[in-house]
Amino acid sequence: MALLQISEPGQTPDPHSRRIAIGIDLGTTHSLVAATRHGLAECLPDDAGRVILPSVVRYLDGQRREIGFEAQARQADDPENTIVSVKRFMGRALADIPGRASLPYHFVDQPGMLAIATRQGLKSPVEVSAEILATLRYRAQDSFDDDALFGAVITVPAYFDDAQRQATKDAAQLAGLKVLRLINEPTAAAVAYGLDNASEGLYAVYDLGGGTFDISLLRLARGVFEVIATGGDAALGGDDFDRALADWVLAQAGRSVVTGHDKRAMLVAARATKEALTDAHDAVLACSLAGGEIARPVSRADFDALTRPLVERTLAAVRKVLRDARIAKDEVQGVVMVGGSTRMPAVQAAVAGLFGRPPLTNLNPDEVVAIGAAIQANALAGNARDGDNLLLLDVIPLSLGLETMGGLVERVIERNTTIPVAKAQDFTTFKDGQTAMAIHVLQGERELVADCRSLARFELRGIPPMVAGAARIRVSFQVDADGLLSVSARETGSGVEAAVVVKPSYGLADDDIARMLKDGFASADADMAARSLRESRVEAERMGLATRAALAADGELLDSAEREAIQALLAALAGSAGGDDHAAIDAALAALAEGTEAFAGARMNRSIQSALTGRKLADI
């Protein structure tokens, strides 16, 4: 007799099985991956024990690239091919990038989203982000010793629009990740703080990262996270503080920079000085430029004064969100600080002054978003226990609507509407006998089409000829839990219908995505070979150090011939490790293991003899 196997929706039928799901914070400056292990969400480290991955990609000759710390170390030497803060360019056209003249890149304007010229050709921000996401995916697979990841929750700034969210999702697809959900960074931070278990009420999440600023108000009640209002600035972050400091020091010194190397070197030096001023009251910005060295003392008071307008921009966004939500600042029970840039003392003091209470800073602001994403990923994978389930109710950051006659915008879904959401509105024809209607989908708060962002265009054809105003066209908007939009139009009398899933046209059509995936698969062997080589080199270094330590401790157990033989094997291993053949390194490792087997046995015998000396058999 067959048995019916029953499981909760979204959970695995096998109560002992567990799906591996990860949370990723794809940050402007740093990125992290986290997962729930042994009931605790934690950030996953690389093979050097570092949880942070700098969001930096450097393109080299021969289709090679460096990602993370290696690329970050060379950004001043090769600025045109080292892409930093790529998150600021996601889903953006060239006109959307403020301060682009101070950046060392060669931008190419394309429909919808810019590209960056590198020695490997044009690179879309989606492609660059995919490199970072793939590196985090490999890290997660190494951590679990398993290639079968169920999926990932990826965080995005609350103020990311539809184009930026879709670009993030495409980057994840290119990286070989199944996106379980996109969630807003402030919401993930609130989850990580455990506010669902410990607190109820109204909380603000102040998120100042490397390239974006978000402020969100959340109401927490029995595991339900409801975003009341959100706001911010997708082009304001720690990078702007670095740029302000670099410009001020150059002005004080009467210097200017022209080359890409000098621009990047000044920004790197400014960031280091900014970080030093977090704990110290004085620092020196020192940088080597083409025109000579520059070294300028900077006090924290100087830095606070010149960056005060940037801090005020964040406070203005906070006040606006409070007004939108019709909430007084004294109603907010706590302020959660997120993002590495919130470590600046002036930022913490400004937030405390606005809300009249010190902000919550008890978690690492760099890790908190990734940890929250991991908690949500674990729940979506069906691993959460009954008491661990969360309900996340995010909102859309910008209003969605249609173009009407005269170049005006008719808003259908207002900003700060909880998602997922579906809304419909009726429209009619403008002319007698009109049989088609062009539908232009827009996003923004302005009244004129020219001032809003175009998301999509499609046509509804086959409308029966009628006098103007007689037809009834119902246009329906649907926004899913990821904040992505689909729109349909239907003439109610005849039933003719047209629809579009709004996928922003930013120079990456479906064919382009398919091509990039194909290219990624084609280079998979090369990527795996490079990965195997690095792993073999790490193992060679580890075994070489262990063998030398053993020789130093118990080398007298060997005669001169045996010792020379092991030294020769160590030299052969070191020589192989300096090459590019991982098979040769593995062979040298195997030879060293075999050649030291007798030595290892002698060391074991000595240890046992030492442990048993002077003891009776009855005692043992």
Per-residue model confidence as pLDDT tens digits over 473-532? 888 998 887 777 888 888 888 888 887 776 655 545 445 545 555 555 555 566 566 657
What counts of helices (H) and strands (E) characterise the chain? 15, 27
Alpha-carbon gap, residue 158 to 483, rounded angstroms? 10
Alpha-carbon gap, residue 514 to 48, rounded angstroms? 34
Assess whether pLDDT exceeds 90 at residue 33: yes
Q: What is the DSSP string of 606-620?
A: HHHHHHHTT--TTT-
For residue 527, the model assigns a pLDDT of 55
Residues above pLDDT 90, as percent of the chain: 24
Q: What is the pLDDT of residues 559-590, one digit of tens each?
A: 888 888 888 988 888 888 888 887 888 888 88
DSSP 44: P
Instruction: Please classify residue 211 by burial: count the beta carbons closer than 10 Å to its beta carbon, then call 0-12 exposed, 13-18 middle and 19+ buried.
Output: buried
Give the per-residue SS3 of 478-509.
EECCCCCEEEEEEECCCCCEEEEECCCCCCCC
Higher pLDDT, 115 or 512: 115
Catalytic residue list: 25, 87, 185, 207
Q: Which of 271, 286, 136 is nearest to 210 (CA)?
A: 271
Assess whether pLDDT exceeds 70 at residue 352: yes
Assess whether pLDDT exceeds 80 at residue 165: yes
If pLDDT is split at 50, 70 and 90, which confidence band does 387 have?
Answer: very low
If pLDDT is split at 50, 70 and 90, which confidence band does 26 have?
Answer: very high
Assess whether pLDDT exceeds 90 at residue 307: yes
Pair of tokens at residue 91: 């889903």
Taking the mean position of all CA atoms in its chain, how far away is CA 150? 19
Residues 6+ apart with CB under 8 A from 478: 420, 421, 422, 485, 486, 487, 488
Pair of tokens at residue 258: 């022209």
- Beta bridge partners, 184, equal 156
CB burial of 139-154 (b: ≥16 within 10 Å; e: otherwise) equals bbbbbeeeeebbbbbb
Residues 6+ apart with CB under 8 A from 348: 337, 342, 358, 359, 361
For residue 599, the model assigns a pLDDT of 84
Assess whether pLDDT exceeds 70 at residue 160: yes
For residue 518, the model assigns a pLDDT of 55
Higher pLDDT, 465 or 523: 465
Alpha-carbon gap, residue 72 to 66, rounded angstroms? 9
Assess whether pLDDT exceeds 80 at residue 297: yes
pTM: 0.70
Residues 6+ apart with CB under 8 A from 469: 428, 429
Residues 6+ apart with CB under 8 A from 487: 439, 441, 456, 458, 475, 476, 477, 478, 499, 500, 502
507: left (phi over 0), alpha (psi -120 to 50) or beta: left
If pLDDT is split at 50, 70 and 90, which confidence band does 48 have?
Answer: confident
Sheet holding 106-108, edge to edge: 106-108, 115-118, 121-123
Q: What is the DSSP string of 262-331?
A: HHHHHHHHHHHHHHHHHH-SEEEEEEEETTEEEEEEEEHHHHHHHHHHHHHHHHHHHHHHHHHHT--GGG
Chain-wide mean pLDDT for the chain? 83
